[in-house]
Structure 1
Amino acid sequence: MVMVSLFAGVGTFLLIPLISLSGLTEATVKLSLLTPLTEALREHPPAASLGIVLSAYTVVMLGQFALQRTVTIRNVRLMNRFGEDVRLETYRGIMNAEWPFFLRKKKTDLTNALSAELARVIHGTFLVLQVAASSVFMFIQIGLAFWLAPGVTGFVLACGTILAVFSSRYIKKAKALGGQSSSLAQAYLSEITDQLNGMKEIKSNNLIASRWDGYQKLVKKMTTESMGYIQIKSGSDFLYKAASTLFISAFLYVSATMFHAKLDQLLIVVIIFARLWPIFTGLQASLQQLASALPAFVSVTELQEECRRASERLDANAGKIALTYGVECRDVSFRYAGDNGARALEEVNLFIPANGMTAVVGRSGAGKSTLIDVLMGLIRPQRGQVLIDGRQLDQADIQALRNSISYVPQDPYLFSGTMRENFMLAQPNATEADLWEALEFASAAPFVRKLPEGLDTQIGDRGIRLSGGERQRLVLARAILRKPSILIMDEATSALDSENETNIQSALEALKGTMTVIVIAHRFSTIRSADQVVVLDEGRIVQCGSFVQLAEETGGLFQVLLGNQRKLAM
């Protein structure tokens, strides 16, 4: 950037002999440095001297433009490198955060941070480079201009300082609008994500009008915010242009009428003003844009810091746990942050034997999902211990535990792409035979074979092109493909017809002795073959035993829940 500024300064100096040689006016502006050059040029014919000066000016300016191109490419390369680093760092921080972090944050806020906010941060980085380059350019140009014409340069600096004082309010307003832009971007992304995810409910319940009203109000707010920024930017642009016109006109008028300045002197004034004034205005405009992007930088920085505080310290090279004895909870208690009521889990004591099937039942809100999250290492108990094969589970074992678990949620999740791609994400080394074996286990092979493209069928966002039962079977097949030590199913057969449910129950029974199966069940017909049934109520274990044993316990919660299901089935 220094070389670019020097080339630009030399170009300005060459205009002085150019004016002198033009013959348009008598040269009254003299510089000792340029005297030998002008004297040497006068020994040549005017046309030759003019050609020499113009050639030198052309070479200098082309050199400046070439250097400027190099600087621009370098700055963009630095910006892209920084953008890549900050994107990866933010994403890695989010992925390494503990599960409670995701319970506190809205998904759309994280999506907005990874997209719109990071884009503003990266653009802000470009603006920082631009401001730095402009500052270097400005100081060098000011130094050369002072040497050339200190009076004129001082006048331009005074005008620029006055404008900077008056325009500081524009920077403050731009920063405030930048904060509003971040909030509106989060709200907008949240609104469209909710509406697109709930489109079936919106259309089937005829909620289009109400959702349209909410969306329309949000879009109008965004339009108002955008117009506010344009008004600030156009207002500052008008101020700079109007001020420059008034200043230069007044200065030229006073110089010509009161001090009888010569034409070449006035031309030098115009040249210096034309060189320095755009630097001031460009720097001020960059500062406004930088102030607008500052809230995004603060937001991303706070998110990164929050992720660091919530980071899990996992061993990337951890293997798998071959469960041989079982999983045990000793006096485990847990309460979610901000929940001042009863604990989600209260002094839970439970032993889950290896290679058997354990069912967990209870009313809604009893703590079933929280217990599963504790067993998977997603949340750590605030009191008590979790033991794997008699050894306390600590942070260093979490990765190995998760490598050994396959989890099938109640709401089955499939990634956008093909069925094959979903399976290969779970087990990159799986063979074609492995895929079809897992599909057979989950009773998914028949419907997959009927598809024209088979495993290479595109399933759409979250598997939207498939029925609920088909999604559940594919997710179960993906879980089995990992060949886990522990299979956890959260009502994973709720969307299946009776035939497929029976097939899967038979397959699960066949796993006994080879895999530990933990099932959260709402339909008790799916857990009759369980080795033990655990009944939770208000975060406590109130019953534990075989299905038959609990069904016969008079007055027990399990018997009540079982009776309610039998009534509903009638």
Structure 2
Amino acid sequence: MEKTISTTSTIVAAKPIADSRADGAEKSTLRSYFAMLIQVSRWHLIGVIVVTVLFSLSEGIGFALLLPTLQVAGFNMVGQGAAGKYAAMVSNAFVAIGLHPTLILLLGLFVTLVGARTVLGQIQSVGMYAVQQEVEHHLRRRLYHSIAEANWLFVCRSRASDFTHALTHEIYRVGSGTNLALVFAGEVVLLTLYMAIAFALSAGMTALVLISGAMLTFVFRGRTHAIEAQGEEVSNTSKTLYAATIEHLQSLKAAKTYGAEERNFSIFSALSADVVSANVDGARQQAVAATWFELGSWIILAVVLFVSIRVLAVPPAAILILLLLFARVMPRIMTGQYHYRAFVNMLPSFNNLLDIEGRCAAAAEPAAHPHDRLSLTRELATEGVSFTYSEGRIPAVRDLSLVIPAGKVVALVGPSGAGKSTIADILMGLVLPDSGTLRLDGRPLGPEGVRGWRDQIGYVAPDTFLFHDTIRANLKWARPDASEDEMLAALRQAAAFDFVAGLKDGLDTIVGDRGMMVSQGERQRLALARAFLRRPSMLILDEATNSLDSENEGRVLDAIESRRGELTVVLIAHRLSTIRWADLIYVVEGGKVVESGDWSSLSAQRDGRFRALWEAQSLTI
């Protein structure tokens, strides 16, 4: 029995602690959000605030003219308490400025105010949308920059779809939430003005409404937290669907080949249903909160009216005006609550952006020094280098020591998974060793120098990527200042000139999404041309000729051979025929060099690992 009581008390005590932590996290997110908002749109915000105040004043003044208009229309305001005094005060104000308050004058003034309010409303709407767009633009740029500045290992360990989801859907949600926050702020300004008028007519009745409204808001505080939690669920499910969408579209060819269309469809449908469920639950939470808040509001108004008539003895004219006033106020309070809840529902998206940005910032590469352009003049070497992609995995590279002499052609060969591409990443400074040293001309190449070194590298990956753009744009991506003659020369070097010249639009041909409108071999040659155009001091070809026929492969290798001595080349290959002419060959297995030498010396070692690879491919000396 005692144990049960203890457990129950622990649970009861834990709930306030959890609520307190949730409140603290929400306040922290709100502070970060508003700090960002002020930083990004300070002047637009000031303009929106000024227009919002003027917009509210135009409506408030129009409503304030109602009492003197009733008096001019023949309604006796004498003996109507504060309402009568207020009508007399407005009439005296008109007389003081030399105007006699007639019905035509008051109605004309009212119409003028309505017209001004319409114009101000348009300006306010455009201003709010401009702020929303500025916030989205700022967050999009900031997050993309953080991702781009992060080191390659962090990017590899992250899911690309999470970045894409944050850069699109999450930022859109934050932008929409910003618009809602501004609308809510405008409603607060207008409600403040209405409350001021209501206080002037009946301070007691208005105070009673405000106190009751505060109590109602406190009662619904827990539901607001539930709506925020639901917003987090919407964010998570949409992120999962986004990831699946990208993966399924990228694997569509394989799915068709394996007859897996229906299986993929079932998985996608289930994820889509989760998103629908989360959004519908969010809408249900909003609707339930709105229903109870509206019911509570009208109950409060009924109680306030009863107390005002029977206890406070508010005059009939004031009651009439207050009823009209609260009839306008109550819907705004309810829409204000809705906008606030929707804004709170957005906060998890903003928090997600901050989280991704923070993780990217923690993994950022050091900034490159503007004058720190490194070049390879003697050799690039690794000394006892080891590297593991993640804790608990087998090292991809172990105690690696090798030398890349300047101006030479060096080949890395070995079975799949031997660590050849990882070695290339280390040589480029894309990933930093866990231990050991990378040296450029004898100097250690640390985190602060890798950007300057990468400026001197041309790289062609096995999975060639081209943008959905023209051949010209894909080439200029490597070197924006390249001339057309330089691009054509690079195409010739890569054995791509003839096929580009044969295209109807030549350099202006669109290559399609990821280059799908040209063949794999043509994509590879365009990627080679892009690397040549960069005029690198070191060229790394990672299986870069594996999709070329023998004739075009020979042309590419001849082009590289023509620059022997002035260009350092690292060839990563499975086909040994492509590296026959290399100056130095490293045989890699298990992330380390097991043999090294030239073609003749390695193929002559009958029990060597290179000889085994050589015989497996039925090569001759």
**TM-score over 0.5 (shorter chain):** yes
Greater alpha carbon shift after TM alignment, 32-41 vs 391-400: 32-41
The CA distance in 1 between the partners of 2:533 and 2:511, in whole Å, is 19
Within the candidate set 450, 455, 462, 2:507 is matched to 455
Greater alpha carbon shift after TM alignment, 379-388 vs 56-65: 56-65
1:18 aligns with 2:74: no
1:374-429 CA distance string (max 9 Å, x none): 11011111222111122221334222211110100011111110111101111222
Match of 1:357 in 2: 409
How far apart are residue 62 of structure 1 and its match?
3.9
The CA distance in 2 between the partners of 1:461 and 1:333, in whole Å, is 37
The CA distance in 1 between the partners of 2:412 and 2:257, in whole Å, is 34
Within the candidate set 315, 329, 334, 1:276 is matched to 329
Match of 1:366 in 2: 418
1:341-490 to structure 2, matched below 5 A, reads: 341-490=393-542
8 A Cα contact 1:314 1:395, kept in partner: no
8 A Cα contact 1:2 1:140, kept in partner: no
SS of the residue corresponding to residue 127 of structure 1 reads helix
1:208 aligns with 2:261: yes
The CA distance in 2 between the partners of 1:486 and 1:73, in whole Å, is 53
The CA distance in 2 between the partners of 1:70 and 1:16, in whole Å, is 29
8 A Cα contact 2:464 2:523, kept in partner: yes
8 A Cα contact 1:41 1:49, kept in partner: no
8 A Cα contact 2:372 2:449, kept in partner: no
Match of 1:560 in 2: 612
Cα RMSD (Å) of the superposition?
2.7
8 A Cα contact 2:460 2:542, kept in partner: yes
8 A Cα contact 1:328 1:351, kept in partner: yes
1:516-543 CA distance string (max 9 Å, x none): 0001111111111111111122122111
How far apart are residue 492 of structure 1 and its match?
0.7
The CA distance in 1 between the partners of 2:290 and 2:275, in whole Å, is 23
Match of 2:320 in 1: 267
Question: TM-score scaled by structure 2?
Answer: 0.85
Match of 1:183 in 2: 236
1:156 aligns with 2:209: yes
SS of the residue corresponding to residue 543 of structure 1 reads strand
8 A Cα contact 1:98 1:310, kept in partner: yes
Greater alpha carbon shift after TM alignment, 109-118 vs 133-142: 133-142
Identity among equivalent positions (%) equals: 32
1:91-136 CA distance string (max 9 Å, x none): 1111111101111111111000100011112222233333334334
8 A Cα contact 1:177 1:292, kept in partner: yes
Within the candidate set 142, 162, 184, 1:131 is matched to 184
8 A Cα contact 1:5 1:141, kept in partner: no
8 A Cα contact 2:209 2:304, kept in partner: no
1:32-61 CA distance string (max 9 Å, x none): 45424446889xxxx972222223333344
1:52-201 to structure 2, matched below 5 A, reads: 52-201=105-254
Q: Sort the Cα spacing of 1:74 and 1:232 in 2 relative to 1 into closer, same or farther, 3 A.
A: same
How far apart are residue 476 of structure 1 and its match?
0.7
The one-letter code of the counterpart of 1:416 is: H
Q: Sort the Cα spacing of 1:39 and 1:352 in 2 relative to 1 into closer, same or farther, 3 A.
A: closer
The one-letter code of the counterpart of 2:60 is: G
Match of 1:304 in 2: 357
Greater alpha carbon shift after TM alignment, 268-277 vs 52-61: 52-61
1:314-329 to structure 2, matched below 5 A, reads: 314-315=367-368, 317-318=370-371, 320-329=373-382
How far apart are residue 164 of structure 1 and its match?
1.5
Aligned residues: 564
1:536-557 CA distance string (max 9 Å, x none): 2212211111122112223322
8 A Cα contact 2:224 2:344, kept in partner: yes
8 A Cα contact 1:82 1:122, kept in partner: yes
Greater alpha carbon shift after TM alignment, 225-234 vs 403-412: 225-234
1:492 aligns with 2:555: no
The CA distance in 2 between the partners of 1:258 and 1:368, in whole Å, is 88
8 A Cα contact 2:81 2:315, kept in partner: no
Question: TM-score scaled by structure 1?
Answer: 0.92
SS of the residue corresponding to residue 411 of structure 2 reads strand
The CA distance in 1 between the partners of 2:255 and 2:246, in whole Å, is 13
